[in-house]
Structure formats: structure tokens, C-alpha cells
Amino acid sequence: MASSAATKLRYRRWHPLLAILVAFSLLPTMIAARDDQDGDRVGFLPGKPGRPPVSQFSGYVTVNEHNGRALFYWFFEAQASPAQKPLLLWLNGGPGCSSVGYGAASELGPLLVNDNGTGLEFNEFSWNREANLLFLESPVGVGFSYTNTTSDLDNIDDRFVAEDTYTFLVNWFNRFPQYKNNDFYISGESYAGHYVPQLAEVVYERNKHLEANQNTNLKGFIVGNAVTDVYYDENGLVEFAWSHSVISDQLYERVKNVCDFRIHTRTEECAHAMNLVYTQYDKIDIFNVYAPKCNTDESALSSTSDSTVEMNAKKKFKRLRMYTGYDPCYSTHIEDYLNRMDVQKSLHANISGWIKDRKWSICSYSIFDNYHDNIFSVRPIYSKLVKAGLRIWIYSGDVDGRVPVIGSRYWVEALGLPVKSQWQPWYLKDQVAGRFVEYEGLTMATVRGAGHDVPQDKPEEALVIITSFLSDRQLPTKNN
């Protein structure tokens, strides 16, 4: 006992010196991180409004040196007190669509591409009012992200994406160590319904085997219009189409009779019936059934003769914009802006010449076509991470026909979680903004009148949702 006490006493005497020695040993690493950080800072950005100031960084983080694989990111510090604000990673789905093109430039970032693609405008409802925002182009092959090993592009599936994204986070935190201890949340939409919970699971599991000071400070995740479970999502898609007068009673009954969505591989009869369902969306936008449809280059995207499930899903490539000057073909403006050489130079993008022989695209056809979507359901991950105590929210725009709220309600109910508060409206400016239900460990919310990309269609409502999520508060239930 005496020896132990003496050891502790000697440790206390030497502790300040040890701290100084450790600090000096880490100094080269800290300086290198600061140099990398400074190299990624975005100063001048063509077409950027002069005020307010936006602190931003962008560039590449290597995730596999041997294969020459690197992912592109765009990071915005919080508008106020970034050291105290949480870090929020945003991922778009597809699979194969760009979080820089959608999330950052047209949905929730502070700088949105304007209506003619010539510059940027400030987004007063940006989520960086509440968090430091990190947008990642993932998987490799999307947007500016690249690999020097072409076989990588043939092996992409959910596990590949989760591992690459985790490696990106580890290396990004090495470059930005000042955010290592901030509360960390993961967010996204659409097929990120797979990416987000699977990444959260990887982080959660890796944290178990790391020292406390090496852990990623994961607190929870939130995902919108989330692809989650084939059985419930597909049933919801068909029921939504029928209940919103998109398909006939006869086609609805036919799908119910010939399709068993519990089976991962569809029969020929089911595939044909589902193609007929998608065909009914040829003249309207499946991602927002009450919005005008973009008809630009429609023939290049789909036709009655080749209206397969895959071709219709590619209609996401032409997106809708619902505010500050409506333009139903808005994604073409994003591509115009991000393909400018001066913009790419300012963002430190395309330094490898990855897209030298092609244009930057808001979505990648090749990734979509070759992606190995072999996970039938991510519901078990929800059950696991609810038990782990993570904060979990999902939200749905209620006029999305591609991943409808109907299917999401089905799979959430199938989790079997006890209800904390019943289904009820939430409010914004004396109007019902949506509805929500709280379970033990999970909150589900809807956004009234929003389609597949909620922050784009209803930016102010989306800001209320993310603010409530990050602050762990219930959505506003009083009409004031």
C-alpha cells in the first residue's frame, strides 16, 4: 500500500512535466494538421455573396493509399461558436448522388447555387446555424471523389461504403483535431437510409475497442425519407401510388397478387407489374407528386418503352427546387456551376484529373448501375442502436412517392418500440408543419407538403427539425 501511495505521489510530482513532454511530442502532428487545414481553406469562391462571411474548407481525404482512393468533402463551420457546436455529417443517397451537389449546394448548406448557375446565394435556413456541417461525396466515383484502381468501382456495396466513410472520418479528424471531442451526429436522406445507420453501427462498434480519448463522440443520427426495408418500403410505394390516384384499382390489385416483397428477387410477373406502376410517373415527379415536373432532356432519362424501375429511379438526376425562384430543372444549374474550372480550383477539386474527360455530374449512372444493393433491411441496426442509447430520428416529406411515409410508418411500427407520445401535429407560424410520434429511443416526424428532399422543399421546417433533434427537444406542439 505504501509503495503504491509513493508511486502515485511521484506521478503527481512528474505529471506536469509529462504533460509538457506529451504536448511537445504531439506538436509536429498538430502543426501538420494545421497546415493541411489551412491548405483546404476556401478563400475566394466565384459568385459567393460578400456578406455574411462563411468559414469553409474543402478538399480530399485519402481512404486507401494503396489503391489511390480519396473522397472529396466540403465543410462549413457553424455560423457562431463552432467550437461549442456539434459536428453533423451529411450523406446523400442514390446510390451515386452527390452530397456536395444536393445537400450542400441545393438543400441545407449556407451557400446555394443560384437560379441560373452563375453564382451563389446565402441560405438563411442553413443547418450551419446549429452545427458544423460536413458534406461528403461518397462512395468513391461520385462527384469529385476518385480512385486510381478501377476495380474499386466494381466492388461497391453498403459495407464498402461504411468502411470507406469510417476511414474518411478518422483521417478527417486527424486533419481537424479541434472537432474530435465535439458531439458528432450523422444525417442524410434517401438511400442514405442505408448509409447512415450502417456507418453509425461501425462507429459504435469501433468505439468499443478504442481508448476513450480516441473515440468518435457519436451521439446519434437522423435520416429523411429513408430507404430502410425492402418489404415495407415497396408496399408503401404501391399503397401511396394507389391512395394518391396515380395507379388504378386494377393495377393495385395486380401488384398485390403477383408481388411478394419479402422475396429479394422479383418474379417476372412482379417486375412487369412494378414497371407499370413506375410508368404512371412518367408525366409527374415521383419525388414530389404535387410539384411541376422537369421535362428537360426527358427522352434521355426515360421513355415508355424502357420504363424500368432502374430508369425511373434515375429521374432523381433532374431535381426540383421549391423556393427562392422556382426552377423545376434546378440540378442543371448546379452542374453548370461545379463544372467551372475557376470553381473547381477554388474548391481544391479535381486535382487528380479524375473528371478530366467527363463532366462533374450530380449523380453517377455507373455507380447506380453497378452498386451491389444486397442488404434487404437495416431495421436490425435500428433495434441495436436504440438499445445502445443513441438519439435516433427519422423524418419524411409526406408527398414523396419514391420512399413514402406510408412504408416508413410500417417499418417503424415493426420495431415494436413502446410509444412515449402519440401521433400529433407540430407547428410553424400558426400552421401545422407536419406530425410526429415519439417512441422509446426513436422519433418519427413528417413534413407537410414536402417531397423526397425535405430541406429543399421546406427549408424552414427542416431547420426546425434539425434544431429540435440536435438540442434533444420535442417538436413545437403549440400553435404560436
Q: Which residues are catalytic?
A: 190, 400, 452
Nearest to 92 by CA among 101, 83, 84: 101
Q: How do strand 132-137 and strand 87-91 relate by DSSP bridges?
A: parallel
Residue carrying the nine cell digits 442553413? 126
Residue carrying the nine cell digits 411515409? 405
Q: Work out the burial of residue 87: count CB atoms within 10 Å of its CB; fewer than 13 is exposed, 13-18 middle, 19 or more buried.
A: buried
Give the end-to-end CA distance of the chain in Å, rounded to a whole number. Answer: 65
